[in-house]
Structure 1
């Protein structure tokens, strides 16, 4: 009998396994990512500290966006390219969660941990872009902004969901609804200006956690839109961070 060799795991699979048993920085080192990481990983220009500015700080703010607060707080990490106190506080929470030195400085170890959450296609280690596609087969097209903008908004959303997943004990997160084309959104009775049509919202279920528990975690992740926890999924969105006409805080059940 001839046996066909089984292919080895891809980078996403390796990282998923590694992140489940060790801190991200340790995983990066064990996988040979070191300071350079694969060509697909973000290339940090050097150590970032308070006072740093530029594109690398913007990317940092995207990646630590889910670490906006330690307890329920209507605040978020501004994605403005300026490394201020809010960004530093989020970095420290990230460092604590991943077993790193907690100094608010984004040096090689912290950069390796951040890169260990990145997949080669720009998605994150625990989420696929396809999980967020509109259920009518439109992919990221047909929304209230371009497909390119939707994809970038989804990428940013993924990092907040990575934080939610980590804070929830690394439990699996199922995305029931991510981006919706305007036609699909209308067919399910969504508001015409639904945050789903911009790619800044998702409805999720976390394995083994009640919706109330997920709501409480989401209150620390920089989400400015939280639908009620009385249903079987948790809606989260970032309406305050985008110029899409819904720039107000909406936590339907208040602070839980």
Structure 2
């Protein structure tokens, strides 16, 4: 991973607070050892299949469309036209040759967006854990499944952040346990229970703008931009119908 200096911010402080309160168990959950950057073993192009294509699709899923539309990148290990189009958008955004060929330069940029603990460059696990106990336990899926859904959400949020001009995004709520969700009056089948949702605040950016950019990031659930935060989720990844509360804006 390409290292970079980041000043102490809300994510860093939240991570420290949670770790102090939850002890060793939380530390093991959030920091399971030093992970290596993904070991891309070949150049990927349209027609390729395999686990490395699946990982590519996860990482470029936020580049699903050029304009508002119910489009998403299928995470199926099959490098088809939709994946190729998303790769070109990613390459263009990061100043790479937009040829849909995922070679060393594109792979290096993909790895530069990964932190050593498996989270992403601008988002930390600590932002997404259940706020009542600092874990990924107690939801509708196993903790490992929830954590993988959170990771996928992070990569979409990296795309959203880029599209907003690299504006920092604050995650107010990520995963919720069933018990915590009930305590705060969340919907009984909230996407937060699966780790596929996030409630966002982007200081200095109107929620309507966040909503509009999220329409291009493969998010299949968008709550109204008139609230005090912007909710995004990937409910279609769970086989649910798309739901954009304000429609296409």
Q: State the TM-score, normalized to the length of structure 2.
A: 0.87
SS state at 1:14 partner = coil
Distance 1:231 1:14 in 2: 34
Q: Greater shift after overlay, 174-183 or 39-48?
A: 39-48
Cα distance, 1:191 vs structure 2: 1.4
Distance 1:39 1:138 in 2: 21
CA-atom RMSD in angstroms:
1.5
Cα distance, 1:189 vs structure 2: 1.0
Cα distance, 1:193 vs structure 2: 1.0
**Aligned partner (choices 82, 90, 93) of residue 86 of structure 2:** 90
Distance 1:60 1:93 in 2: 13
Contact 2:220–2:235, Cα closer than 8 Å, also in 1: yes
SS state at 1:229 partner = coil
Listed as ranges, the gaps of 5+ residues in structure 1 are: 1-10, 18-37
**C-alpha offsets along residues 175-234 of structure 1, whole Å, 9 cap, x if unaligned?**
000000000001111111110000000001112100000000000000000000001211
**Aligned partner (choices 153, 156, 162) of residue 158 of structure 2:** 162
SS state at 2:41 partner = coil
Distance 1:16 1:77 in 2: 30
Kindly report which structure 2 residues correspond to 1:180-219, keeping only aligned pairs within 5 A, or say none.
Answer: 180-219=176-215
Q: Which stretches of structure 1, 4 residues or longer, exceed 4 Å deviation after superposition?
A: none
Listed as ranges, the gaps of 5+ residues in structure 2 are: 8-33
Quick one: structure 1 residues 12 and 201, their matched pair in 2 at CA, closer, same or farther if it must change by over 3 Å?
Answer: farther
**Aligned partner (choices 4, 25, 29) of residue 14 of structure 1:** 4
SS state at 2:216 partner = coil
Q: State the TM-score, normalized to the length of structure 1.
A: 0.84
**Aligned partner (choices 128, 131, 156) of residue 124 of structure 2:** 128
Distance 1:39 1:141 in 2: 22
